[in-house]
Structure 1
Amino acid sequence: MKRIIKKIFPKSRSNEDGIFFGKIEKIIGFKPVTLLFYQKAFTHRSANRTDDNGNPLNYERLEFLGDAMLSSVIAAHLYNKVPTGDEGYLTKMRSKIVSREHLNELGRDLNLVAMVDSKVPISNFGENIHGNIFEALVGAIFLDKGYAFCEKFINKKVIIPYVDIAKLEGKVISYKSLLIEWCQKEKRTFHYEVFDDNGNDGQRFFGVKLSIDDKVVAKARATSKKKAEEIASKRAYFAFQEKINTK
């Protein structure tokens, strides 16, 4: 296996593999068997690595697998932990636990981005790189050690330190979804007006004006339309919080 790893990752040396092995062992809490899975989990597409068949070697496929494993383990935990929860409740709670915001927090806490092999400077990475790498790591653990070890890792790193049912019940995942749901229920009209709002530094920004019943109730500015809409929605939510929470 070591010869295969060296062939795919030609720049690696045995001592570098040993250092990487030690870092992975410290993070996951047990000795990895197939180091290649973890090397892939920390390889960004910009590294342009491929296997002998020309298939890309990066974390994106492992990210997909890790996402599925997280959903599975969290779903089983909630099913057993909240026997009175119906399907809608359990789905909503799982979404809060595996939300992009939460996964990014997990990745940041473990400082996973510091281990990423990339030709792109870390400062250029978007915020979601933290959660993406965390999901890829979970996928690597599943391939390397199987479901039981994967479940143990998720329980130790996600469920025990972060999953508090009472707190999660009051946590808002998306202020935009919450606000839209309230507007629809109250038969209020709403409109997000998005426009380019570039500054002098050359970075692209988007501005948003949120109107409810043809009246502008909140404005926001961010580096993406989605972020700007969410910020504006959050500001509108707190402006209407008393009315929303009484419905």
Structure 2
Amino acid sequence: MKRIIKNIFKKSRSNEDGIFFEKIEKILGFKPTTMLYYQKAFTHRSSNITDVKGNPLNYERLEFLGDAMLSAVIAAHLYNEVPSGDEGYLTKMRSKIVSREHLNELGRDLNLIEMVESKVPVNHFGENIHGNIFEALVGAIFLDKGFSHCEQFIQKSVIIPYVDIEKLEGKVISYKSLLIEWCQKEKKTFHYEVFDDNAIDGQRYFGVKLSIDNKIIAKARATSKKKAEEIASKRGYFAFQEKINTK
């Protein structure tokens, strides 16, 4: 089966001269054993590659596995580093570390997108592609080398350079949740409305208006309704920041 899958990937990739291996080794800090996992981790579903049973060969299942590994390692780190933290605190802090925004930042810093095999132009990818590939890479490490190497990679690439407990305590992971909580507390009405929905260069965009007490506070545009709402919420938060922070 491995030989069959290897042949499938070989046909789909034009760069089999060792450059991919060298880049992966540089990112990991160790020599990978089974390159098939890493090739799969950087294969977008648009490549339409399947194994002999018709199962898709792309990063999405590895993304699921990597997400679980990240959560486990981060949870253990927080448990050991913050002995006074209760379950709610630890859960909230873990959410901040493995937030989509943070994972996207990690993927961008490693420039993982340059190695993605896809039939879709890079400028058509959503922002989350960076975090998705990072999670898939973690999943590939786990399958290739086991939990120990996976934990070491997360320590090196996530915890040591990015996890600062004091800074994370003040980090906002959802401006929408924060703003809604404040509106409910202050008995203010709020409403999100999609006022525009169109496509530019083949990419769909949503325009969203945020109103508080029937007054438009902020507008935003993004590639999804959820993203547009979050951006509008962030702008709304800063418009009311002084009032929110003094409550």
Scaled to the shorter chain, the TM-score interval is over 0.9
Q: Note if contact 2:208-2:220 (Cα within 8 Å) is conserved in structure 1.
A: yes
CA distance 1:121–1:8, change in 2 (3 Å): same
Q: Distance in 2 between matches of 1:81 and 1:149?
A: 21
Amino acid at match of 2:142: F
Other structure's SS at 1:33 match: coil
Could you say which residue in structure 1 is the equivalent of 2:45? 45
Q: Distance in 2 between matches of 1:174 and 1:158?
A: 21
Greater displacement, 147-156 / 223-232: 223-232
TM-score (norm 2): 0.93
Q: Distance in 2 between matches of 1:143 and 1:98?
A: 20
Over the aligned positions, Cα root-mean-square deviation in angstroms equals 2.2
Could you say which residue in structure 2 is the equivalent of 1:127? 127
Could you say which residue in structure 2 is the equivalent of 1:55? 55
**2:188 corresponds to 1:188:** yes
Could you say which residue in structure 2 is the equivalent of 1:18? 18
Amino acid at match of 2:90: L
Q: Note if contact 2:126-2:223 (Cα within 8 Å) is conserved in structure 1.
A: no
**2:111 corresponds to 1:111:** yes
1:201 CA displacement: 6.8
- CA deviation digits over 1:26-49, x for unaligned, max 9? 111111111111110010111111
Other structure's SS at 1:173 match: coil
Q: Note if contact 1:6-1:12 (Cα within 8 Å) is conserved in structure 2.
A: no
1:197 CA displacement: 5.3
Q: Distance in 1 between matches of 2:210 and 2:14?
A: 56
Q: Note if contact 1:208-1:232 (Cα within 8 Å) is conserved in structure 2.
A: yes
- Superposed, which structure 2 residues align to 1:1-247 within 5 Å? 3-11=3-11, 16=16, 18-196=18-196, 198=198, 204-247=204-247
Other structure's SS at 2:58 match: coil
Q: Distance in 1 between matches of 2:196 and 2:246?
A: 36
Amino acid at match of 1:67: D
Amino acid at match of 2:41: A
- CA deviation digits over 1:98-147, x for unaligned, max 9? 11111111111111111111111112111111110000000000011111
CA distance 1:13–1:176, change in 2 (3 Å): closer
Other structure's SS at 1:49 match: coil
Q: Distance in 1 between matches of 2:19 and 2:81?
A: 39
Amino acid at match of 2:186: E
Amino acid at match of 2:163: V
Greater displacement, 196-205 / 2-11: 196-205
Q: Note if contact 2:13-2:117 (Cα within 8 Å) is conserved in structure 1.
A: no
1:21 CA displacement: 1.9
Other structure's SS at 1:11 match: helix
1:174 CA displacement: 1.1
Other structure's SS at 2:18 match: helix
Q: Note if contact 2:104-2:128 (Cα within 8 Å) is conserved in structure 1.
A: yes
Q: Distance in 2 between matches of 1:232 and 1:239?
A: 11
Q: Distance in 2 between matches of 1:60 and 1:22?
A: 23
Q: Kindly, what percent of the aligned residue pairs are identical?
A: 86
Other structure's SS at 1:236 match: helix
